Structure formats: structure tokens, C-alpha cells
């Protein structure tokens, strides 16, 4: 019988926390302690975790990953992707009027009719729901770009939306303007902020090996190994079904990936025995990796597993499942794989997207010589009497010996 963990609201040192109760079990206790933020309270005689909606969801997924039964009925949470409780000038955003509720439901149907993914429908729907909350009882037909501007300014300042979230928000409102032409919002006047041009975080090959080595749980090691060895997105990983694996041809069929496109990727020779061991141990029925209660696995659980493994591996970088995909592409490029093949393996529609990895691959960069080194070598070759010229010459202080 699965161990039961009960989560209840708890106020500790004046802060809202999650109280954790369970019938004593040593393995469960040690597993709880490995989750970041879990502490023991002498006052309340129980473990606790600082409360946020994200920490509650992550902790729930963390317990479910090992098959523990979780009772969290004491927490009345709003549905995901619906922002009912954001604050506006010290108060709560109002609920939608009946008319706006109907408009919002029709907007969701409109997005599904355009064949947007369910994830996009939820995200766009959440932003438009929030926008209609923000505008209150103002008739929808009277909404203008000024209302959009005020909402965006409030959301960015109050909710600290990142640029990527800001761009999604504008995309959602553009679609709303197309869907509801009766309003006075001109979609063409809504401008997205420019994208960040940040280079992706990449792990070294040694860091990837250490990460997999410290992941002792067979299921966890298998899913992390597949993320890296085939360059998958986390959504593609949890959506994989068993018929997608072709072990004879060492191929993996990714169906309905980003942009509703299919592709074939390679299965590493070293992954196949790990997969067979995992399959014989866990006996998944439909999906490659399944929830202990059956059905699709949680992406949040994958992130939690990766975070725990990075901590054990001593990796200080900010690592997400997409970091393993970035590392896969970069290591392929460093191994001499043609950029066109990498584009196909990653499922990029445009080669410009794949080109970013040329900026983080180190193999060719390491062969480029700094002009400072060239300068010193030229001086040394010109001055035959001083062939050991060093940049540190003439400086007092600690002498470094190579």
C-alpha cells in the first residue's frame, strides 16, 4: 500500500507554509529532506515547506514521482493558467462579467478552431482572461489600444513578466483583436518587444556524464539520458508512446512536435540497454514514461528530477530540460556534425534558429589565437635575447609558478 502524505496550510514564523504529515517511515522521511526548502519545525513537530503555488505543485509532483499518495485537499487552489488572484492597486482583480465570460469561452473555441496546441490555448486564454479582468466592467466593444497599453504596463510592473512572457501576452491580445473585431483594438498597432539575444546555457560533456552518473533511480536516469542523447523537448519526452521506439533501426519517431511536425531522431547505442532495463523493470503500458497512477508524466516532475540531479552533481549553472537539448546540439557541432543535419535532428523549421549553436561551440573557437598572444610572440621572436617574455614581468606581488 502506498504511503500517504497529507499537506495542510501552516503559519510558521509569520509566513505561510505547507505542513507535511505522514505515518513515520525512514525512506519517506529521507526522501522529503532531499526536496529543496523542506525543514523540520520543533514548534509544530512536523516538516514544512514555504508556500507558493509553484512550490506546492512541484512538491506534489516530486512525491507522485515515487508513488506516494498525496492529500492536498486543504489547499483550495485556482485552476492552472487562470489568474484569478493577481492584485491591482492593492486589491484583487474582479471576476469576469457574464458577457465577458461568454466572450472568453468563445475565444478559446476560436483558438482551437485555428488548431493551436492546447498549451497555447491555455496560455493565450489566461492572458486574455486577465486582460478582461483588468478592464473590469468596461464594455468589450469600447476596448482600445490604450486599454491594452495600461494592462501591459500594469502586468510588466506588477507581475514582473519577462520579455518572452510579454511577447506571448501581446500575441494573445493580437489574436483576441482578430477574433473580436467589434472592439476598437487595432491588432496591427500592438507591438511585441524585441527578443533577448541570449546565448543558451550548455553543459560540458563531463558535466552531462556526472549528471547521469549521480542519478541513481533507473527511471530518472533513463528519461534524462533520452533528453540529452536525442535532443528532445520536455513536451516531446512526456508525450512519447512505446511504438515510437524502433530499436532495430536505432531511431525514435517524434510525432506532432513543435509546429505540429514529425521527425526521426537517432537512439544512442549506449541508451538502448538502459531502455531495455528500464522497460523490464517498470513495464510501462502506453507512454515511454508514465505517472505512477497511470497516464502521462508531468513536465514539472522532470524539472524537479533534473534539479535534484544537478545538485548532487555539484552543477551550479541554471539547468532546465532544454539545457540538455542545447548541450546535445552544441556537442554534435563540436564533433563535426554538419549544421544541416543538426537542424533536421532538432526539428527547426529555419536554419537561423540552429545557427545560434555556432556561437557556443568551443572546438573552433579554441583554435583562434588572441591578438595579445600574437603580439607577445612577435616581440619574443624579434628580441632574441629575451625569448621568455611574460605579461607578468615587472609586477611585484605573488609569483605564480606553472
Pairwise CA distance, residues 398 & 396, whole Å: 7
Pairwise CA distance, residues 187 & 244, whole Å: 41
SS3 of residue 183 by DSSP = coil
Give the closest residue to 293 by CA, choosing from 80, 74, 60: 60
Buried residues in 60-77 as b, exposed as e (16+ CB within 10 A): bbbbbbbebebebeeeee
Kindly report the average pLDDT of the chain as a whole number: 83
| Predicted confidence (pLDDT) per residue in 45-87, tens digit | 899 998 876 778 788 878 877 778 888 777 654 444 444 445 5
Active site annotation includes 253: no
Active site annotation includes 325: yes
pLDDT of residue 104: 92
Q: Name the pairing type of β-strands 245-246 and 91-92.
A: unpaired
Give the closest residue to 133 by CA, choosing from 119, 154, 117, 109: 154
Give the closest residue to 181 by CA, choosing from 133, 150, 151, 143: 143
pTM as predicted: 0.59
| Predicted confidence (pLDDT) per residue in 231-257, tens digit | 999 989 999 999 999 999 999 999 876
SS3 of residue 298 by DSSP = coil
Which one from 104, 325, 326, 331 is the annotated catalytic residue? 325
Active site annotation includes 258: yes
% of the chain at pLDDT higher than 70: 84
Name, in order, each residue with C-beta under 8 angstroms of 216's C-beta and a sequence gap of 6 or more.
none
Pairwise CA distance, residues 163 & 194, whole Å: 8
Tell me the C-alpha to C-alpha distance, in Å, between residue 311 and each of 45, 281, 306, 318.
27, 26, 9, 11
Active site annotation includes 24: no
pLDDT of residue 257: 67
Name, in order, each residue with C-beta under 8 angstroms of 377's C-beta and a sequence gap of 6 or more.
none
Helix axes 118-135, 145-159, angle to 10 degrees: 100
Which one from 104, 233, 326, 331 is the annotated catalytic residue? 233
Residue 282: Cβ-neighbour burial (10 angstroms; 0-12, 13-18, 19+): middle
pLDDT of residue 391: 53
Active site annotation includes 340: no
Long-range contacts of 134-142 (CB under 8 A, 24+ apart): 134/88, 134/93, 136/94, 137/94, 137/97, 140/99, 140/100, 140/103, 140/180, 140/182, 140/183, 141/182, 141/183, 141/184, 142/183, 142/184
Which one from 258, 263, 303, 307 is the annotated catalytic residue? 258
Q: What pLDDT band is residue 198 in, cutting at 50, 70 and 90? A: confident
Model confidence at 227: pLDDT above 60:
yes
| Predicted confidence (pLDDT) per residue in 338-374, tens digit | 888 888 888 887 787 777 777 666 655 556 666 766 6
Pairwise CA distance, residues 327 & 324, whole Å: 5
Distance, first Cα to last Cα, the chain: 61
Q: Domains along the chain?
A: 4-71 (no CATH), 87-189 (1.10.150.130), 214-354 (1.10.443.10)
Active site annotation includes 350: no
| Predicted confidence (pLDDT) per residue in 83-115, tens digit | 444 555 445 678 888 899 899 999 999 999 998
Buried residues in 355-386 as b, exposed as e (16+ CB within 10 A): ebbeebbeeeeeeeeeeeeeeeeeeeeeeeee
Amino acid at each position: 500500500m502506498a504511503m500517504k502524505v497529507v499537506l495542510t496550510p501552516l503559519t510558521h514564523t509569520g509566513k505561510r507554509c505547507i505542513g507535511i504529515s505522514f505515518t513515520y517511515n525512514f525512506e519517506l522521511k529521507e526522501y522529503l529532506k532531499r526536496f529543496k526548502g523542506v525543514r523540520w519545525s520543533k514548534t509544530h513537530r512536523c516538516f514544512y515547506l514555504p508556500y507558493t503555488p509553484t512550490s506546492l505543485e512541484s512538491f506534489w509532483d516530486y512525491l507522485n514521482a515515487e508513488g506516494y499518495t498525496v492529500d492536498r485537499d486543504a489547499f483550495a487552489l485556482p485552476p492552472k493558467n487562470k489568474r484569478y488572484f493577481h492584485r491591482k492597486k492593492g486589491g484583487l482583480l474582479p471576476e469576469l462579467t457574464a458577457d465577458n465570460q461568454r466572450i472568453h469561452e468563445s475565444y478559446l473555441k476560436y483558438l482551437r478552431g485555428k488548431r493551436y496546441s492546447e498549451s497555447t490555448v491555455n496560455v493565450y486564454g489566461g492572458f486574455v482572461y486577465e486582460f478582461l479582468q483588468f478592464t473590469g466592467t468596461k464594455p468589450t466593444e469600447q476596448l482600445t489600444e490604450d486599454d491594452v497599453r495600461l494592462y501591459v504596463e500594469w502586468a510588466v510592473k506588477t507581475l514582473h513578466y519577462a520579455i518572452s512572457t510579454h511577447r506571448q501576452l501581446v500575441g494573445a491580445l493580437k489574436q483576441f483583436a482578430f477574433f473580436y473585431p467589434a472592439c476598437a483594438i487595432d491588432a496591427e498597432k500592438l507591438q511585441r518587444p524585441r527578443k533577448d539575444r541570449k546565448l543558451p546555457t550548455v553543459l560540458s560533456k563531463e558535466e552531462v556524464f556526472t549528471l547521469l552518473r549521480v542519478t541513481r533511480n533507473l527511471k530518472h536516469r533513463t528519461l534524462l539520458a533520452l533528453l540529452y542523447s536525442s535532443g528532445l523537448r520536455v513536451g516531446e519526452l512526456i508525450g512519447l508512446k512505446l511504438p515510437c521506439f524502433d530499436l532495430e533501426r536505432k531511431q525514435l519517431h517524434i510525432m506532432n512536435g513543435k509546429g505540429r511536425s514529425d521527425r526521426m531522431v537517432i537512439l544512442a547505442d549506449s541508451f538502448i540497454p538502459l531502455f531495455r532495463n528500464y522497460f523490464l523493470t517498470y513495464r510501462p503500458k502506453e507512454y515511454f514514461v508514465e505517472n505512477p497512477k497511470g497516464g502521462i508524466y508531468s513536465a514539472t516532475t522532470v524539472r524537479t528530477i533534473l534539479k535534484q540531479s544537478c545538485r548532487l552533481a555539484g552543477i551550479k549553472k541554471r539547468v532546465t530540460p532544454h539545457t540538455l537539448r542545447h548541450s546535445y546540439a552544441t556537442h554534435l557541432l563540436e564533433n563535426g556534425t554538419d549544421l544541416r543535419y543538426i537542424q533536421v535532428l532538432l526539428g527547426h523549421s529555419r536554419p537561423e534558429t540552429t545557427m545560434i549553436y555556432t556561437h557556443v561551440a568551443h572546438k573552433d573557437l579554441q583554435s583562434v589565437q588572441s591578438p595579445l598572444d600574437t603580439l607577445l610572440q612577435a616581440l619574443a621572436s624579434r628580441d632574441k635575447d629575451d625569448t621568455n617574455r611574460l605579461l607578468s614581468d615587472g609586477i611585484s606581488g605573488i609569483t605564480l609558478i606553472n
